[in-house]
Chains A and B, each alone.
Chain A
Amino acid sequence: MKKIISLAVASTLTCGITFAKEIKVGAVMPMSGPIAQYGQVCYLGLELANKLQPTLKNGDTIKIVLADNKGDKVETATATTRLISSDNVVAILGALTSTNTAQTIAIAEKKKVPVIASVATNDKLTAKREYANRVCFTDSFQGEVVANYAISQGYKTAVVVVDQAQVYSLGLAKAFEHAFKAKGGKILEKIKVTSGDKDFKAVVSQIKQLNPDFMFLPLYHPEASMIARQSKQLGVNKPMFSGDGVANQTFIDLGGDAVEGYMFTDFFDYTNPPSKTSADFVAFHEKETGKKEVNSFTALGADTYNILIDAMNRCEDPTDSVCINQKIKETKNFDGVSGMISIDKEGNSTRSAVIKEVKDGKMVYKATVNP
């Protein structure tokens, strides 16, 4: 009897060694709450990328462990800690907004777990952090793109409405102001609002009185859509421009007619896939979801996953987080879904931006801006 048991134990052990391992990768995303839209489309990207490429070169399978942060800072911290300490993930993808990603990075940094942010654009996120990386551009680049556009259209004066509760908004506003002033533009007023506000009639009346050439609204879609609607109601007809925070269908649903002509910067346009990898992903997306439109957050979500897998493949031990982190930072000219991505030593990526406009309730591609 003893022999049989020991034989059984031995055989299971050897089997365990020869069988491929399952490696866990964490994802922190707002799947519910006010900005759930972002998390849901971004997570779709992870899921699809995972379906396309479920294993590493050595045969290990990748399992994504999802934690919902409800778009909240405290929930993000809890979720990150849980993923690292109880799920033992080798890396964390996401946290979406800059405010929340900052929380994730702060915790992961201490535990030496690499983070790849999908759409967190705040400049300071990766500063002095060794384990922070991103696939999106930074706000200073995005702000400059908007400022250049405004100047090229002959707009001389601007009003900026900034959401003081969001790091993303503050950073983007600052970058725009800096670039716009440097090119001879004038900021007439900077009006502060708080996310969650619904009534912007006082703000819009203020803008009407100031009569700027251009409105820059570095906000998320719930606030930006309300400002657009109330501007229409109060008869303010100025060109409105936002960052990537409004690049989703909910923005158009909430804004209705009022967001016609609204412009924004984005990362990716599915109607102009920059490479074959990208076109293939768009096709796969349509096959899986039945929808042609690929949200840019979905593309970036897929890229966080693909770059991570690429880095893991280049490590001898794909669970060695120090090595993974180093390889992520050595990513050069990676053929991503959202375009060519290179990641530098600071963890920031060099990539192009896309300018889009809302036309007939659709996001329409206008131009690609290279760094």
Chain B
Amino acid sequence: MDVLTFFQQMVNGFSLGSMYALIAIGYTMVYGVLRLINFAHGDIMMVGAFLGYTFMEVFQLPFTLSILLAVVVSSLLGIFMDKIAYKPLREAPKISLLITAIGISFFLENAFTVFAGGVPRAFPVPSYMENVINVANITFSVSSITVPLVTLVLLLGILYVLYKTKYGMAIRALSFDIKTVNLMGIDANLIISIVFALGSALAAVGGLFWAINYPSVEPMMGVLVGLKAFAAAVVGGIGSVTGAVIGGFIIGFTEVVVIAFFPELGGYKDAFAFVFLILVLLFKPTGIMGEDLEKSRF
């Protein structure tokens, strides 16, 4: 492989990895606070993409406005999901929450199949997003370079919220002990709602970017991506936001490297993401950035 192709592949891995990273952040935040692996997260990503599609195609709204609306509605959906499905189960064993999450995931997939049909629809992408930039013979589209930038900005934003604001402090406190935090006069339910809103908004951004980069939307699009983002969150250390981003990049690069160096094994690239997951669980169960289970989750 020549140097050029190598760099081209690195650019490819970077843009793919940042999309997993975006979705993994949401997984990690909800886990950090509720100790819940929200398996419906991948489907929120799908909903985000579908909302963007609907605003653009059905309501004929401009691209940027549609994206913003889709993110806002998705975060409201996140709050709503928590209120009707997870809140009644706060005191219940964690396994009940997990099963509920899987139930919501199936519900969303099937509801969208009923309303939208199973046929993939073309996602309308503005042409400037598809413009190709050529730097020293390494080519990439505008969209594939926008994703890493947005991921970086959002990561910094989330870290700022967590460490520099009052709500961030409350979120971190909540990750230690919900009951005690309640006694301290903090409205735990409000904080949990904020976490769900933030996580869902990130998932929606991830879904919209997914739809922009690979311009099709269909009800099952979130399933595999969600699982890989989950693997990314665990590899990075579930509960750690920075870890989720690192995990996302690891999964993204692995996929690209497998195809670049072993094209015959290319079809098994999905398996490699989960091999990583297993290895991490075997040798460092808390993940790369995971600290002692007793310490802060972020």
Contact = CB atoms under 8 A, between A and B. Distances in A.
Interface residues of A, number: 43
Contact of A36 (B118, B122, B256): B118
A255 to B, nearest CB: 8
B256 A196 contact: no
Contacts of B216: 198, 222, 225-226, 254
A202 B140 contact: no
A233 interface: yes
Contacts of A209: 1-2, 4-5
Contacts of B256: 201-202
Interface string A23-35: 0000000111110
Contacts of B60: none
Given A205-B260, A206-B260, A199 B214 contact: yes
B132 A34 contact: no
A254 B215 contact: yes
Contacts of A163: 267
- Prevailing SS type, chain B contact patch: helix
Interface residues of B, number: 45
Given A208-B5, A226-B214, A193 B267 contact: yes
Contact of A189 (B120, B213, B218, B263): B263
A209 B118 CA distance: 36
A221 B267 CA distance: 17
B8 interface: yes
A211 to B, nearest CB: 11
A205 B215 contact: no
Interface string A344-359: 0000000000000000
A127 to B, nearest CB: 25
A365 B117 CA distance: 30
Given A189-B263, A205-B8, A222-B216, A233 B119 contact: no
Interface stretch (B12-20, B77-85, B166-174, B241-249): B12-20
- In the A-B complex, the 5 residue pairs with the smallest Cβ-Cβ separation, listed nearest first, are A192-B267, A198-B214, A164-B267, A202-B259, A32-B118
22 contacts: A32-B118, A34-B218, A163-B267, A165-B267, A190-B264, A192-B264, A198-B213, A198-B214, A198-B216, A199-B12, A201-B15, A201-B16, A201-B144, A202-B9, A202-B256, A205-B260, A229-B215, A232-B132, A233-B132, A235-B134, A250-B120, A253-B122
